[in-house]
Structure 1
Amino acid sequence: MKIIAGLGNIGKEYDKTRHNIGFMVADELARRWNLEGSWRTDRNALFVEYRAPEKVFLLKPTTYMNLSGNAVGPWAHFYNIAPEDVAVVHDDMDLPLGTIRIRKNGSSGGHNGIKSIISNLGTDAFPRFRLGIGHPVHEQQAVISHVLQPFAGDDKQLIEDAVKKMADALELWLKEDGDLSKVMQQFNTKKKSKTATCTLQKSVIL
């Protein structure tokens, strides 16, 4: 069995905001799997079940972001699901808007939802599917105001495309039975090489 947990905050006031990118990916998967009207509540989470072919629990914690581990932990412990089979989808302010990064483990990086999950699982060895929401445009803008801001204009289309791409990555993760190597190779956004950057700058100067 596997768990895919999309992180976010419950409530219409948080719907489609930057901090709810995990919920948006979970909703996209539920739509693809024809489970949109099948959400139920148990162990501090909205959930649906899917077989791909093994059983997959798709979760949206109802604890609010900072206590996400109070949902993910009980689900993993009750069904004896190993941490490496618990995929967590969340926003990342340190990544440019729409950028996808997938990693096998690591620290919370200051993300309170991830910090809570690490505490509840007792390990940081679970896969992270991170989607960039960018930093506040102005340094004076409060972080909380930024993450609770809805997407608009060009950003909205960019993030809708990124959500679909992230759902593709998660489906490949299931297909590969939890092996992240191919998923990371295919979906981690490539960084531009210094050579390419220098060539571009030179052509602009010339």
Structure 2
Amino acid sequence: MKLIVGLGNPGKQYTGTRHNVGFATLAKLIATRSSGPAKAKFQGELYEATIAGQRSLLLLPLTYMNGSGASVLAARDFYKIEHPDILVICDDFALPLGKLRFRGKGSSGGQKGLDDVIRRLGSDEIPRLRIGIGAPAPGRDVPGYVLGRFAPDEQSAADESIVRAAESAEAWVEKGLSYCMNQYNAA
């Protein structure tokens, strides 16, 4: 079984923000792969799906970004999912807008939600897919930037990256992390 987690903040005021590209990516997967309505579990919304013939769980933590690890930990422990079978999808302002980057382990790179997941699961060996949201202008407030919406001239690239991220998450289930690192990190 695979667990795919999209990080973001709940609430309409956060919909469409840079910080919520993880939620937006999971929404694409839910729309095409979910086998039913959400279940309120693990301080989040949990969907069951079949991807590449494998039972998969799609989790949207509703703990707000900085507490995402509580939701992921509860799902991991309940289903007894091994860390290599968990994929965390999040934003990354250190990557250019639209760039995707898979990694199998490493630091959070300052991403607070991913940091909480790593801390609560007790390991940095958690596969993750980072979606580039572009860097804030020098001197710009980082929290305001990530909680802001994409500029009109950025929206098309952001939308395209979310579609590619959803496709790449399906590829992760079917073909694994190494394939995705080779296929998507170079693009």
Q: When the two structures are superposed, what TM-score results if normalisation uses the length of structure 2?
A: 0.95
| Larger RCO of the pair (alpha carbons < 8 Å, separation 6+) | 2
Aligned match for 1:185, one of 163, 182, 186: 182
**Structure 1 vs Structure 2 CA RMSD:** 1.3
The equivalent of 2:60 in structure 1 is: 60
Which residue is equivalent to 2:41?
Answer: 42
Amino acid at match of 2:8: G
Radius of gyration: which is bigger? 1
Q: Which runs of 5+ in 2 are unaligned?
A: none
Structure 1 residue 108: deviation in Å? 1.1
**What is the percentage of aligned positions where both structures have the same residue?**
39
Match of 2:150 in 1: 151
Q: Look up the match of 1:173.
A: 172
* Deviation >6 Å, runs of 4+: none
Aligned partners of 1:91, 1:64: CA distance in 2, in Å?
A: 14
- Shift of residue 78, structure 1, vs aligned partner: 1.1
Partner SS state of residue 149, structure 2: coil
Q: Distance in 2 between matches of 1:40 and 1:164?
A: 24
Paired with 2:50 and 2:183, the residues of 1 have a C-alpha distance of: 23
SS at match of 2:40: strand
Q: 1:34 Cα deviation (Å)?
A: 5.2
The 5 Å alignment of 1:21-170 reads 21-33=21-33, 38-52=37-51, 53-137=53-137, 139-170=138-169
Partner of 2:4: 4
| Displacement of 1:119 | 1.4
Distance 2:34 2:63 in 1: 25
Report if aligned partners of 2:25, 2:163 keep a CA contact under 8 Å in 1.
Answer: yes
* Number of aligned residue pairs: 186
Paired residues of 2:34 and 2:49 also in contact (CA < 8 A): no
Query: Given residue 156 of structure 2, which amino acid in structure 1 is its aligned partner?
Result: Q
CA distance in 2 between partners of 1:55 and 1:65 (Å): 26
Provide, for residues 164-189 of structure 1, a one-character-per-residue CA deviation record: whole Å limited to 9, x for no partner. Answer: 1111111111112xx21111111113
Per the alignment, residue 200 of structure 1 pairs with none
Instruction: State the match for 1:14 in structure 2.
Output: 14
Q: Contact between 2:99 and 2:132, CA under 8 Å: does it hold in 1?
A: yes
Contact 2:34 2:47 in 1 (8 A): no
Letter aligned with residue 179 of structure 2: K
Q: TM-score, normalised by structure 1?
A: 0.87
Deviation digits for residues 59-109 of structure 1, max 9, x if unmatched?
110000001001001100111100110000000010011111111110111
Aligned-partner Cα distance in 1 for 2:159–2:4: 19
